[in-house]
Structure formats: C-alpha cells, structure tokens
C-alpha cells in the first residue's frame, strides 16, 4: 500500500499547470513517468524551484493540504507526465487509511524530511559549485533532462552563473 489510499492514473501534457497559487491543494500525486516541478514566485517576479518530481517521487503542497489554506506555490509538468493521482483532504485520508497505510505514510514523510534537511544543509554551508556537483550526483538523469535554467533555480543561483560554473567544471 502506498502513501495515499484512493487513486487513479492521470496524464498531463508538458506545460500543464496542476496547482496554482491561491488554490487550496486537495491532492497528492506520485509520478509514474515524466517529471513535475513545484516552485514559487518571489516579490521580484523570480521563479524559485522547490522540488522536482521525476519517476517515483511524490509531490503536493503539504502546507495547503494539511492546513486547508490557499497555496503559495505552483506545480506543473516539465515533461509529458503520467501520475498516480489522489483527490483527498487529510481528514478523509486519515479516516480511510488502515494501520499499514499509516506506516507507509510515516516512512514517506520521514524520507521527505530527511531530503529537506539535506537541502537546508547544502544551502547553509555549500558554495554554488558544490551544490551543482551534489545535484549531478543526486539526480544524474535530471541533469540531462532538464534545462539549465531550472537546475539553476533549484540550487539557488542565476542561470548565467551556472553557465559560468559549467565552463569552469568542464575545464578541469
């Protein structure tokens, strides 16, 4: 059994916006094939990527889903993407879920926390180049599949500077 209980398979064309700022998020979904991204737009209009969800990853707006508040993020499809989709609010989920489901949820959530902790750590202590090298190791397939611009946003720098880093790394 998996993170969410009631499921159906859905398909999104590349570029489809799945969740918008202002909407209350009422789903979680797990990517079967393709890739989604979640991101927010800051006061200066700049996009910052929160998470990529390639095959096997879960994506949602936990804050909106859990607290039933309007979302402050966007989720959309970077590639044509097939997902396991669950329309739910957390209450439904808890009422319906068996003990085993809950155990799986805990495992999924714990993994999510661990990944988040690692990212915080990188942002606090590593240089842009170190973060880029780490990205390559952590997501070798994504490095090929994603435009540089999105990777730059994820590691927290400008595309121009990532371009410079690539040149430097290549020259080694």
Partner DNA sequence: TGAATATCTTAAACTACCTTAAGTTTTTAT
Partner DNA sequence: ATAAAAACTTAAGGTAGTTTAAGATATTCA
Residues lying near DNA in the complex (CB under 7 A) are found at 44, 46, 127-129, 147-149, 156-164, 166-167
Q: Is 46 in the site for a second copy (CB under 8 A)?
A: yes
**Contacts with a second copy: how many residues (CB under 8 A)?**
32
Q: How far apart are CA 118 and CA 75, in angstroms?
A: 22
Of 78 and 83, which has the nearer Cβ to DNA? 78
Give the alpha-carbon dihedral of 142, 17, 91, 82, to 10 degrees: -50
Q: Is 103 in the site for a second copy (CB under 8 A)?
A: yes
Of 63 and 143, which has the nearer Cβ to a second copy? 63
The residues that bridge with 28 in the sheet, in sequence order, are: 86
Q: Is 67 in the site for a second copy (CB under 8 A)?
A: yes
Q: How far apart are CA 124 and CA 46, in angstroms?
A: 21
Q: How far apart are CA 135 and CA 160, in angstroms?
A: 17
Angle 24-27-65 (CA atoms, 0-180°, nearest 5)?
A: 45
User: Nearest approach, Cβ of 126 to DNA (angstroms)?
Assistant: 8
81 close to 38: Cβ distance less than 8 angstroms = no
Of 30 and 131, which has the nearer Cβ to DNA? 131
Binding residues vs a second copy (CB under 8 A)? 40, 42, 46, 48, 50, 62-63, 66-67, 90, 94, 99, 102-103, 105-106, 109-114, 116-121, 123-125, 156
């Amino acid at each position: 059994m998996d993170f969410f209980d009631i499921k159906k398979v859905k398909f999104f064309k590349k570029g489809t916006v799945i969740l918008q700022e202002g909407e209350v998020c009422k789903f979680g979904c797990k990517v079967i094939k393709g890739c989604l991204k979640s991101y927010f737009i800051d006061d200066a209009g700049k996009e910052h990527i929160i998470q990529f969800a390639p095959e096997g990853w879960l994506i949602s707006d936990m804050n909106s889903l859990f607290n039933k508040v309007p979302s402050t993020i966007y989720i959309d499809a970077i590639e044509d993407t097939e997902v396991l989709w669950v329309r739910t609010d957390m209450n439904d989920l808890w009422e319906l879920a068996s003990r085993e489901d809950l155990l799986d949820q805990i495992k999924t959530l714990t993994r999510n926390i661990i990944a988040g902790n690692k990212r915080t750590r990188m942002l606090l202590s590593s240089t842009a180049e170190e973060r880029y090298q780490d990205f390559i190791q952590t997501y070798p397939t994504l490095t090929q599949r994603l435009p540089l611009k999105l990777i730059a946003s994820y590691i927290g720098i400008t595309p121009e500077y990532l371009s410079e880093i690539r040149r430097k790394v290549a020259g080694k």
